Structure 1
Amino acid sequence: MPARDGVNDLNTPYPVVDADPHFSRVMSYMRPSEYAMWAAGTAAFPAAIYGLELADPSRLGPRGLRPTLKIATWLGFAGGFLLAYQTTSLRLWGWRENEREQARDKEELSQLAKEGKPLYGESDLPPYIQGVAHRNSLWSQLKFSVMPWFNFVHHPYHGTDPSKYKEES
């Protein structure tokens, strides 16, 4: 009996590219607009804190404000990253327009299939543990507000039919 990956009956507005993408895949599929979103988040948080300080000074002075701005920059960086990561994941899931991702996915994975390599990477983990990792990371990008969780395990459960990559000649 084949293992169920929890995504067999997805009904999405666009084709699913990868229902549980590896961290490195999400990062490589980020568009320039996501990097801009990340940069905007990094800059917006400390800018807002600084603007509030100008509007209503806290009497900390420049030296007292410096640690606050450092923390705000780090939080803006983390928040911007999570937003960009989630936006890329939504495209890979088929929830947003993903024509470029479909073409790139078809090209990359067809080449791997032609070479006889595993489509989604190799893993030293037993199949059961790969399944556990998949079940823990599936749709985790929707829960970033509770706990950021990423897929760092290569596994065969991605919600797509691997035979479509072998059909290309």
Structure 2
Amino acid sequence: MGNLRSVRPSVLGAALLACAALALAGCSSADTAGAVRTPSSTPATPTAAAEPDPVVMDEDQSAPAVCGQLSALSTVTLNARVGLQQGDVTQAELEALLAAARFGYEHLSSTDTRLSNAIAYTQRYLEEHPAPASGPALDDSPEWDLAMRSLNTACQESGSSVVSTAQYGG
């Protein structure tokens, strides 16, 4: 991949969102390493092709997992906004990254009561402030800042942290 400073922020953001999506899925699955498939003695026809076994994944809704997701979402939004200021991210890229981050916030859930309450508060805010047809899907208002602080506090009270990795220093 090379030097992270030479990677376009949109590529880095997409990679971080992919990690967040994996974290949302739970990243755990049954061990399939021991499964052995033997070839059939008759050629398979298109209608008789074997369907792959579905992989069942449990979503990890623990505080550490959710706070890790929040770290990824926070990193994406921070770097997208600063990247726009630095001229490394276009307005369209910023809007795409913020829309993806919003999707992540809208789909958070946790088994931790403190986090569940903060998530519910954040999701209520998002419902009351729908994404515009054009423009950033997440605003930079004092109310949104309060929602983010409530999530950060809930993570800290649950023994986890939210950490944003700043591409542009800090």
Q: TM-score with structure 2 length normalisation?
A: 0.28
Higher relative contact order (CA closer than 8 Å, sequence separation 6+)? 1
Q: TM-score with structure 1 length normalisation?
A: 0.28
